[in-house]
Amino acid sequence: MTGAFDVLARIRESRGAPRPAGEQCEMCAEPIADQHQHVVNVEGRQLMCVCRGCYLLFTDTAAQLRYRAIPDRYLAFPDFALDRREWERLQIPVGLAFFFRNSTLGRTVAFYPGPAGATESELDLSAWNNIRTADSRVDMLADDTEALLVRIPDDAEAPECFLVPIDTCYEFVGRLRMLWHGFDGGQQAREYIREFFTGIAARSRVVRR
């Protein structure tokens, strides 16, 4: 296993050195595979592609760190305590959003997808606290690195709710932006949303109230 001092030494050595072709770790410039892990810059809200060694430096959730490793945890929350009235109180204009706790701001923030990518919503904190009180699974989220991804169907069906890595949300929104056409996204975007949530459900462990 790569030690912390070895990783930090590689970071120092990589500064100013020419970078080889192909994708590299954004911390130490080591080559990385297409399927790699991420850390988040907590203050700047940037995602960084990193090698396994650098990723392991930032996995301590109790430490006060500038960067945090994004875990690979997927959970499904059936019967989530959120009805359409509560959703409207959250002031989110579409039926799809993700929520995460920003430790720098000290509060939960919400984003929803659209033609411009991820758009931040002015979250009604009192409405959000009502949801937290009604469903304690909300507090399972790790600060900065995990999100609550919620979809409210157009019909009368119950909401779909998942705990997912934050990078999954940004990748989802980025892909959706490329497919978006017109006011409501268009047929291709709707099909992608259905396929995406089907895949998330298949890999998620169910956690009941």
The b/e string for 100-117 (b: 16+ C-beta within 10 A; e otherwise) is: bbeeeeeebbbbbbbeee
At 156 the pLDDT is: 56
Query: 83 and 61, same structural domain?
Result: no
Query: 189 and 140, same structural domain?
Result: yes
> Percent of the chain, pLDDT > 70?
88
Query: 17 and 115, same structural domain?
Result: no
What's the whole-model pTM score? 0.85
Residue-range definition of the domain harbouring residue 12: 4-69
Long-range contacts (CB closer than 8 Å, 24 or more residues apart) made by 134-138: 134/81, 135/77, 135/80, 135/81, 135/82, 135/209, 136/209, 137/75, 137/77, 137/80, 137/163, 137/207, 137/209
Query: 89 and 63, same structural domain?
Result: no
Q: Which of 5-9, 23-27, 49-53 has the lowest mean pLDDT?
A: 5-9
Q: What is the dihedral of CA 165, 195, 191, 173, to 10 degrees?
A: 10
3-state secondary structure of 184: coil
Q: Which of 20, 50, 69 is the last residue of a domain?
A: 69
Query: 110 and 37, same structural domain?
Result: no
- pLDDT tier at 125, thresholds 50, 70, 90: confident
Query: 51 and 12, same structural domain?
Result: yes
Query: 118 and 94, same structural domain?
Result: yes
Query: 85 and 41, same structural domain?
Result: no
3-state secondary structure of 173: helix
Is the pLDDT at 37 greater than 70, yes or no?
yes
Q: Which of 50, 69, 88 is the last residue of a domain?
A: 69
Q: Which of 69, 91, 119 is the last residue of a domain?
A: 69
Rounded to whole angstroms, how far apart are CA atoms 98 and 172? 11
Query: 133 and 195, same structural domain?
Result: yes
Report helix, strand and coil shares of the chain as percent, to nearest 5.
Answer: 35, 25, 40
Rounded to whole angstroms, how far apart are CA atoms 163 and 77? 8
Tally the domains of the chain. Answer: 2
Query: 104 and 196, same structural domain?
Result: yes
